[in-house]
A and B are shown apart, each in its own frame.
Chain A
Amino acid sequence: MSVLTSPAAAGMASSAGRFVIEDWDNRVFRVNREAFRSEEVFQRERQRIWDHSWLYLGHESEVPKPNDFKARNLGGRPLIFTRDSLGRVRVYLNACPHRGTILCRETEGSARVYQCFYHAWTFANTGELVGIPDEAAYPPERSFVENNGLRSVPRMENHRGFVFISFDPHVGSLSDHLAEAADYIDLMADHAQGGLEVVPGTHLYGIRGNWKLAVENAMDGYHFSPTHVTFVEYLKSTGYVTSDEGGRAIAFRNGHSVLLFSGHGGRVGMQWEPRFGAEERVRTEANVKALAGRVGDARAKRISGTSRILFVFPNLILFDIEGLAARQLEPTAAGYTEVRAWELAPVGEDPAARALRIRVLGSFIGPGGLATPDDVEAYECIQRGVLATAGDSRPYVDWSDISRGMERESKGEPARSIDEAGLRSFWRHWNSIVEPVSR
């Protein structure tokens, strides 16, 4: 099949493969459900995507001070995300170079050195092997110590505080990977002069569903009304009004996409609404004025006036809605995904604004919110439902439909946020990596 990566080229080109059928004559796009079920596909994803792409690891504010660390798995590999004693962000494989023991057994903390409990080899957080019990039994050459320092991840880059890594030393630059998505990360990072910081308290939860269902769900404005009826009713009871009018879905290169909502309203510090209270109105007016002074009127209007959900292939979803959040996907099997979600906020924010921000976002998002559990129900029901058609070779039966908006697109009209343009761009890019028999 032909590989299509640019949104313009992808426009009207048809193709049919094992996992994806794109048929512009009939304006139909389908995904084979084996993509959600198959452990073979999951292994290909691990090898071809997680071992070779840029991956979102975390925000630099998670390790604000020298020696701070977080331990976290990414692509199934245990890692140490730290700021070393010299203040540099470093990412190491969390395995002792000596025998492979997990080196850091805490999930977070502060450590100048990491000592393996097994044989007590000790490593500075700058990477050097600094202690070997009974060292005289080893070769005296300096190279022995040098060859046994902490193993760094092959590549790490920091984009405006968002730290990405790759296990492939030959991967291209992060900016090439992010492409048009970089500007949308910047719109979030530009919220505050002092940058953003992660709010304490991480949502850590597992879902019994394939990771791609979580991507689809985030970039799918179509599900919002039916799935989140009870949340919308709650919002209406607080005087909040939602509308799809003016919403857009934009597909970027490399599988990234964004949803824009202008009729969504209510963004703490950016767009006031009555439920936020009178004090927040004063703060918001001052904040937006300062923002315009800093980045100019046009960019300030983009930042403050539009809600955005950005997907950065393959494992990051950034929410710039009522508040700010980063959600990371860590698939552990074809049918299971671990989710980590952090709330972000401006550094130095007024405590009253911070409390409001946390309250407003918390009612919606996360496994204890009024909306996210129904999304989780959707992922899990799909994961169970796709068993029904496994191996069914009748036409259309074992395929999911992702055609919404192709009719509009074929007439040259922009995609609405309730269209599936972003999902199609994700699947096209995914398919270009996963479908080939060998790579």
Chain B
Amino acid sequence: MSPVSRAQVEDFLFAEAALLDAWKLDEWLGLFEPGATSEVPTTDRPNADPESAQFYVADDYALIAARVKRLKSRHAHAENPHSRTRRLVTNVRVTQNGGDTVRADAAFLIYKIRDGNVDSFVGRYEHTLAVHGDTLKFRRRKAILELEVLRPGGRLSFIV
């Protein structure tokens, strides 16, 4: 198996960003392999372990699916109507390239626009991607915010 290139990882992350900005959440869920996890640590403990620390998001696969189901409901009041979002994903690096997984890091800047406010969420991704032939899937998706505090907009009601 040839090593996964940066261009392949970029294509994957850019496609993910497009799905999220379009609120195509079922398709987004399809980017995860069963058993995958998704994490957003708190801003004061960015390197913590979700087994022993409080996180903003520490979803197992069932909870990722539950989050998608919730966000598709018109009763997900925090995102009804949906925020407009635009994600800039850049500085992509393949930091480990071994066998059936790659470790991919990237920087993100997400603008979230709603109710007259433009909130920015800046941070980095530290993903572990599973290699399935020509396609990549999330095995461990991790978004680390550089913010000190979620401020001025204080809700991760959408996917960062």
| A binding-site residues for B, Cβ under 8 Å | 107-108, 199-208, 227, 229-231, 233-234, 237, 336, 338-339, 342-343, 351, 354-355, 358-359, 361-363, 366-368, 370, 372-374, 376-378, 380, 384
Contacts and interface: CB of A to CB of B under 8 A. Distances in A.
Given A338-B149, A363-B63, A370-B70, A206 B76 contact: no
B148 A368 contact: no
Contacts of B76: 230, 374
A205 B149 CA distance: 6
B154 interface: yes
B51 A354 contact: yes
Contact of B54 (A201, A338, A376): A201
A200 B67 contact: no
B132 interface: no
A368 B55 contact: yes
Given A201-B41, A229-B75, A234-B66, A368 B156 contact: yes
A336 B60 CA distance: 33
Closest 3 CB pairs of A and B: A205-B154, A368-B56, A201-B54
Contacts of B73: 229-230, 233
10 contacts: A204-B43, A208-B152, A230-B75, A233-B70, A339-B154, A358-B52, A359-B58, A366-B54, A376-B157, A377-B155
B48 interface: yes
B66 A370 contact: yes
Contacts of A338: 149, 151
Contacts of B50: 355, 358-359
A336 B117 CA distance: 14
Given A208-B154, A363-B63, 6 more contacts: A199-B52, A201-B42, A201-B48, A204-B151, A233-B69, A384-B115
A377 B66 CA distance: 20
A345 to B, nearest CB: 10
B54 A203 contact: yes
B69 to A, nearest CB: 8
A230 B150 contact: no
A438 B80 CA distance: 44
Contact-residue bracket for chain B = 35 or more
B54 A205 contact: no
A206 B40 CA distance: 17
A373 B42 CA distance: 16
A201 B44 contact: yes
B54 A208 contact: no
A362 B51 contact: no
Contact of A380 (B41, B43, B63, B115): B115
Contacts of A200: 45, 48, 52-54
Contacts of B44: 107-108, 201-202, 204
Interface of B: 40-45, 48, 50-58, 60, 63, 66-67, 69-70, 73, 75-79, 115, 117, 148-157
A201 B53 contact: yes
A228 to B, nearest CB: 9
B77 A377 contact: yes
A374 B63 CA distance: 17
A19 to B, nearest CB: 27
A358 B50 CA distance: 8
Contacts of A107: 44, 148
Nearest to B75: A229
A367 B150 contact: yes
A355 B76 CA distance: 27
Most buried by B among A108, A377, A384: A377
A325 to B, nearest CB: 9
B55 A201 contact: yes
A276 to B, nearest CB: 15
Contacts of A202: 42, 44-45, 54
A367 B52 contact: no
Contacts of B57: 362, 368
A227 B52 contact: no
A8 B40 CA distance: 47
Given A338-B151, A367-B154, A373 B54 contact: no
Contacts of B156: 367-368, 373
A127 B48 CA distance: 33
Contacts of A227: 77
A361 B152 CA distance: 24
A227 B42 CA distance: 25
Given A201-B42, A201-B45, A362 B148 contact: no
A33 B158 CA distance: 30
A29 to B, nearest CB: 26
Contact of B78 (A206, A363, A376): A376
A350 to B, nearest CB: 12
Contacts of B153: 206, 208
A167 to B, nearest CB: 23
A357 to B, nearest CB: 10
Given A201-B42, A342-B54, A354-B51, A370 B77 contact: no
A395 B60 CA distance: 52
B78 A373 contact: yes
Contacts of B41: 201
Contacts of B148: 107, 204
B58 A358 contact: yes
